[in-house]
Amino acid sequence: MKKILSFFREHYLLIYKYFLFTVTVLILLSFFPKNLKFKYEFQKGKPWQHEDLIAPFDFAILKSDAEIKVEKKEILKNLHPYFKYIKDTSDQNKNKLIKNFNLKWDEKYPNKDSNNYLKNLNREVCVSIYDTILSKGIIEVHKTIENKPDDYNINILKNNVAEKKELKDLFTIHSANIYIQKVLKEHDNIDVTLLTRLLTNCIIQNVKYDENLTLKAKQAALNKISLSHGMIQKGEKIISKGDIISNNKFQILYSLKKDYENQIGNSSDYHLILTGQIILVLIIITVFILFLLFFRKDIFYSNKKLILILFTIILTVFMTKITVKYNPSLIYLVPICLVPIVIRSFFDTNLALFVTIITIVLIGLIVPNSFEFIFLQLITGIVTILSIVKLQNRSQFFLTSVLIFLSYSLIYTALSLIQQGNFEDIKYINYGLFAISSILTLFSYPLIFLYEKLFGFITDVTLMELSDSNSKLLRQLSMKAPGTFQHSLQVSNLAEEAIYKIGGNSLLIRTGALYHDIGKMDMPMYFIENQSSGTNPHDDHTYAESAKIIISHVIKGIEMAKKYKLPEKIIDFIRTHHGTRKVEYFYTLQKKYFPDEPINEDDFSYNGLLPFSKETAILMMADSVEAASRSIKEPDEQKINDLVDNIIDKQIQEKQFINSDITFKDITKVKNVFKKRLLNIHHIRIEYPE
């Protein structure tokens, strides 16, 4: 048991990586369909490059999408809407009409005895006209019958029986009013004015559009459409090698592919399918691991970087899987180009290209028409990477989005023309999907921000924004502590040139150098580079107090950086730029003027962290060298050389670089850069030998 625990302690990092890649493989496998894939690739308009194909079983020839679309259109064109006759409302209104007639007649003709005959006559005529109109039906004016001819047929459901009627056999409110006027004029002894007003106010639309019944009829008609036409018998030759794949042949091959995957997939050995998928995914992931081991060991040994890359791949494959499962026609909606944008933002273009290829190949095992999809996504992915080779600001993402749309559209158009040979069969809806996918790539902006927060990484875009001297914090530094700001600029130039020479992140060290002394804004006059009045506030303090004030700028800087939410990698430069060294100036004065007093060295020592990378180590060197070079009187080449050597050698003696991955060879190169740069700053010409 102890041996096992000891093994885990010694190899836990390697075990963790095995676990990470195993989980990735298992997740990816869960996205893959568990049926066989048709082994032949084919495209419309191209020759059949495989052996002669014989039908392995009987199968129906599926209709093309265009054929089904035409049939649906024809069926819907000949489908007549359904209306419903509402008798209850008609009867209620009839009773209301009789009641209103009696009331209005008695009001107008109060002598009941002398007008009884006329009253009955008028009432009978009024009710007769009402019955005639409502029994024939007053149709609701609906958009389904607008601008239709009089002989247009509709279905009317009356007493649960549907019958066809032409529009001319029904009244509208307008035609009913005309009919009322016409009939009333044909009768004698009729109060036309009274009856017209009563009938006009009482007639209603009693033939209403029935949307539910119409939709059911439409769906029933569409369900009757046959999805196939004709059959291919087992043993029948489908296509010979070299034959051009015409529209008809393409549809037969497509039908065979669909039937093959359904029939064979359902009856095949699930374990064999899974075994094949495991082998493919393992090969892909192994190639990815080997690439990292050969070319990017820093990423392979960084768990955070690995998780970021693998999570991005899994997320993209997952989005594609969901889209294919629910609607394969929307496959071009998936923003695959998020992968190269995100990976390039955190790493380099080579890694972005390789991860993009890995992702597209994995997706190619899921999507239909994999060759077309892989070709389209690969070329567009390369264009995406080329558009962000020099990623300097987030506005570039908008240009990249436009280039993605143009690439998708041009490549798709070219592939469609090769396959179809005309513009008519191109699915123009795909251009809309390309546009939406291109717009979705703009979500890389918040996604990158989220990754920065989750994984603690900084992109070049963020560093470019932070290193802008007009940013809020640097602007404050230049106003409150102008000398410190100029010092920071000089340090950033020295450090950037040095890291470029030995290899490292020049943008990171430049940004870190600009912010490393922001803590001096708290008490700028206590630092000599900001003293322009000739007075030194340290004269009013003991050496220990002065040292404490100087040391405090590190803590103040960290607090200020966190307040302004600077990334941790930038704060690391503030923490480490003095390491655990002493405030030499006040420490030396304390020993010189108070030799008999015991010295608490902690009062004169920084309690920061030691530099732990090339960038933080070089910043410590550049900061010390630049500050010390200002104190040289009558600088010459020898003085500068001695200054650089003495300062950096002393830092080495104090073991300030034991945690950083910098070599003596690197340090020698850095010294030479500093010497050359300081000679240029102080305008000293090198004396050439006679």
| pLDDT top residue among 613 and 421 | 613
Q: 79: closest CA among 145, 154, 1, 157?
A: 154
Return the beta strands (E) in 422-499 as ranges: none
Domain for residue 339, yes or no? yes
Could you give the C-alpha distances from 237 to 53, 355, 483, in angstroms and in order? Answer: 6, 42, 87
Residue 118 near residue 150 (C-beta atoms within 8 A): no
Q: Strand, helix or coil at 65?
A: helix
CA dist., res. 488 & res. 623, Å (int): 8
What count of residues does the chain have?
690
In the numeric block, the tokens 């609906």 are attached to 142
DSSP H helices in 503-578: 506-515, 543-563, 568-576
Residue 619 near residue 516 (C-beta atoms within 8 A): yes
Last residue of a domain, one of 408, 434, 455: 455
Find the range with the poorest average confidence among 28-42, 227-241, 305-319. Answer: 28-42
Which residues, 6 or more positions from 508, have their beta carbon under 8 angstroms from its beta carbon?
458, 463, 569, 615
Q: 97: closest CA among 231, 202, 221?
A: 202
Q: What is the pLDDT of residues 317-376, one digit of tens each?
A: 999 999 888 888 888 889 999 999 989 888 888 999 999 999 999 998 888 778 888 899
Name the packing angle between helices 482-502 and 506-515 (round to 10°): 160
* Res 3: pLDDT: 63
CA dist., res. 548 & res. 586, Å (int): 10
**496 shares a domain with 568:** yes
The arithmetic mean of pLDDT across residues 99-121, rounded, is 79
Domain count for the chain, please give it.
Answer: 3
Q: Is the pLDDT of residue 75 over 50?
A: yes
Domain for residue 46, yes or no? no
Amino acid, res. 146: E
CA dist., res. 246 & res. 420, Å (int): 9
Q: What is the pLDDT of residues 507-524, one digit of tens each?
A: 889 999 999 888 888 888
Could you give the C-alpha distances from 637 to 170, 643, 685, in angstroms and in order? Answer: 109, 10, 8
Domain for residue 573, yes or no? yes
CA dist., res. 193 & res. 126, Å (int): 12
Q: Tell me phi and psi for residue 685, to 5 degrees.
A: -85, 140
**475 shares a domain with 449:** no
What are the residues facing 53 on neighbouring strands?
A: 239
Q: Is the pLDDT of residue 687 over 60?
A: no
**490 shares a domain with 445:** no
The arithmetic mean of pLDDT across residues 71-87, rounded, is 85
Q: Strand, helix or coil at 563?
A: helix
**505 shares a domain with 442:** no
* Res 263: pLDDT: 63
CA dist., res. 192 & res. 183, Å (int): 10
Q: Tell me phi and psi for residue 261, to 5 degrees.
A: -65, -35
Q: How far apart are the first and last CA of the chain?
A: 76
Q: Is the pLDDT of residue 573 over 60?
A: yes
Torsion sign, CA atoms 583, 588, 594, 598: positive
Domain for residue 561, yes or no? yes
Neighbours of 654 (CB within 10 A): 14
Domain for residue 188, yes or no? yes
**610 shares a domain with 646:** yes
- For residues 569-582, one letter each, b for 16 or more C-beta atoms within 10 angstroms of the residue's C-beta and e for the rest, the string is bbbbbbbbbbbebb
Could you give the C-alpha distances from 418 to 47, 189, 251, 368, 625, in angstroms and in order? Answer: 12, 83, 16, 18, 66
Could you give the C-alpha distances from 77 to 81, 148, 383, in angstroms and in order? Answer: 11, 13, 45
Two tokens at 677?
A: 């740069």
Q: Residue 50's pLDDT band (boundaries 50, 70, 90)?
A: confident
In the numeric block, the tokens 């080495």 are attached to 652
CA dist., res. 199 & res. 7, Å (int): 100
CA dist., res. 587 & res. 581, Å (int): 11
* Res 255: pLDDT: 77
CATH of residue 532's domain is 1.10.3210
**494 shares a domain with 629:** yes
Residue 369 near residue 485 (C-beta atoms within 8 A): no
* Res 113: pLDDT: 57
What are the residues facing 156 on neighbouring strands?
A: 83, 163
Portion of the chain with pLDDT greater than 90, in percent: 12
Q: Which of 42-46, 207-211, 445-449, 541-545 has the highest mean pLDDT?
A: 207-211
Last residue of a domain, one of 455, 486, 509: 455
| CA-angle at 199, arms to 196 and 201, nearest 5° | 105
Q: Is the pLDDT of residue 28 over 50?
A: yes
* Res 617: pLDDT: 92
pTM of the model: 0.63
Domain for residue 518, yes or no? yes
Neighbours of 423 (CB within 10 A): 10
Portion of the chain with pLDDT greater than 70, in percent: 92
**291 shares a domain with 207:** no
Amino acid, res. 601: E
Two tokens at 550?
A: 């100087």
Which residues, 6 or more positions from 596, have their beta carbon under 8 angstroms from its beta carbon?
none
Q: What is the pLDDT of residues 449-472, one digit of tens each?
A: 888 878 877 877 788 888 888 888
Q: What is the pLDDT of residues 476-535, one digit of tens each?
A: 888 888 888 898 899 999 999 999 888 888 888 999 999 988 888 888 887 887 777 667
Domain for residue 228, yes or no? no
Which residues, 6 or more positions from 493, have their beta carbon under 8 angstroms from its beta carbon?
677
Residue 514 near residue 487 (C-beta atoms within 8 A): no
Q: Which class for 169: exposed (0-12), middle (13-18), buried (19 or more C-beta within 10 A)?
A: middle
Q: What is the pLDDT of residues 83-99, one digit of tens each?
A: 988 877 777 888 888 88
Mean pLDDT over the full length of the chain: 83
**533 shares a domain with 611:** yes
Q: Strand, helix or coil at 323?
A: helix
What are the residues facing 82 on neighbouring strands?
A: 155
| CA-angle at 352, arms to 348 and 353, nearest 5° | 120
Neighbours of 223 (CB within 10 A): 7
Q: What is the pLDDT of residues 638-654, one digit of tens each?
A: 888 888 889 899 988 98
**422 shares a domain with 312:** yes
Which one-letter DSSP state was computed for residue 582?
B
CA dist., res. 679 & res. 664, Å (int): 23
**482 shares a domain with 451:** no
Last residue of a domain, one of 455, 481, 506: 455
Residue 388, domain extent: 2-35+269-455
The arithmetic mean of pLDDT across residues 24-53, rounded, is 77
**134 shares a domain with 195:** yes
What percent of the chain is helix, strand and coil (3-state, nearest 5)?
65, 5, 30
Domain for residue 143, yes or no? yes
Which one-letter DSSP state was computed for residue 84?
E
Residue 165 near residue 156 (C-beta atoms within 8 A): yes
Query: H or E segment at 131?
Result: helix 116-136
CA dist., res. 622 & res. 197, Å (int): 101
CA dist., res. 388 & res. 646, Å (int): 43
Name the packing angle between helices 396-420 and 370-387 (round to 10°): 150
* Res 61: pLDDT: 82
The arithmetic mean of pLDDT across residues 575-582, rounded, is 87
**486 shares a domain with 583:** yes
Query: H or E segment at 133?
Result: helix 116-136
* Res 37: pLDDT: 66
| pLDDT top residue among 493 and 632 | 493
* Res 683: pLDDT: 60
Name the pairing type of β-strands 59-62 and 228-232: antiparallel
* Res 688: pLDDT: 45
Residue 583 near residue 629 (C-beta atoms within 8 A): no
